[in-house]
Amino acid sequence: MKVMVCLKQVPHQDARLDVKADGTWIQEDNIKFEINSYDTYAVEEALRLKDSAGAEVVVVSIGPDRVTQALRTALGMGADRAVHVNDPAALGADALGAAKILAAVAKAEGADLVFTGLMSDDGNSSAVPPMIAELLDMPSATGVLATEVSDGGVKVERELEGGALEVVEMPKPCLIAIQSGANQVRYASLKGIMQAKKKPVDVKTLADLGLADSASAAQNKTTIKKVYVPPKGDSAQILTGSTDEIVGQLVTKIKELGLL
Partner 1 sequence: MGTILVVAEIQKGAIREASYELVAAARGVAEAGGHEVNGLVIGSGVGDLASQFASKGAGKTLVVDDAAAAHYNVQVWSKAIKAAAEKTGADLVLIANTPSGWDVAPRVAAGLDAAFVSDCIKVASGDGGFDFVRRIFNGKLDAQVSSTGRTVATLQPGAIAAYTGSSDGGTEALSADLSAKAKFVEVKASASTGVDLTKAEVIVSGGRGVGAPEKFPEVIKPLADALGGAMGASRPVVDAGWLDHPYQVGSSGQIVAPKLYIAAGISGAIQHLVGMKASNFIIAINKDPDAPIFEVADVGVVADLFDIVPALTEAVKAAKG
Residues 117-136 that bind partner 1 (CB under 8 A): 121-131, 133-135
Exactly one of 21, 29, 161, 197 binds partner 1 (CB under 8 A); that residue is: 161
Query: Could you say whether residue 196 binds partner 1 (CB under 8 A)?
Result: no
For residue 52, the minimal CB distance to partner 1 (Å) is: 21
Q: How far apart are CA 62 and CA 65, in angstroms?
A: 10
Binder of partner 1 out of 54, 110, 152, 230 (CB under 8 A) = 230
- Cβ closest to partner 1, residue 25 vs residue 208: 25
Query: How far are the Cα atoms of 7, 88, 229 from residue 83, in angstroms, in the given order?
Result: 10, 16, 35
Please check whether residue 49 is in contact with residue 149, taking contact to mean a CB–CB distance below 8 angstroms.
yes
Q: How far is CA 247 from CA 235, 241, 243, 255, 257, in A?
A: 20, 9, 6, 12, 15
Nearer to partner 1, 54 or 258 (CB): 258
- The answer to whether the beta carbons of residues 141 and 170 sit under 8 Å apart is yes
Residues in 232-251 at the binding interface with partner 1, rule: CB under 8 A: 232-233, 235-239, 243-244, 246-251
Q: Which is nearer to partner 1, 30 or 243 (CB)?
A: 243
Cβ proximity to partner 1, 41 vs 72, nearer residue = 41
Site for partner 1 in 21-80 (CB under 8 A): 26
| Total residues at interface with partner 1 (CB under 8 A) | 82
Dihedral angle over CA of 106, 107, 110, 115, nearest 10: 20
Return left, alpha or beta for 14; rule: phi > 0 is left, psi -120 to 50 is alpha, else beta. alpha
- Contact residue for partner 1 among 108, 160, 203, 218 (CB under 8 A): 160
Tell which one of 19, 31, 193, 217 touches partner 1 (CB under 8 A). Answer: 19
Q: Does 223 bind partner 1 (CB under 8 A)?
A: yes
Roughly what angle, to the nearest 10 degrees, separates helices 37-53 and 67-77?
30
My answer on whether omega of the bond before 200 falls inside 30° of 0, hence cis, is no
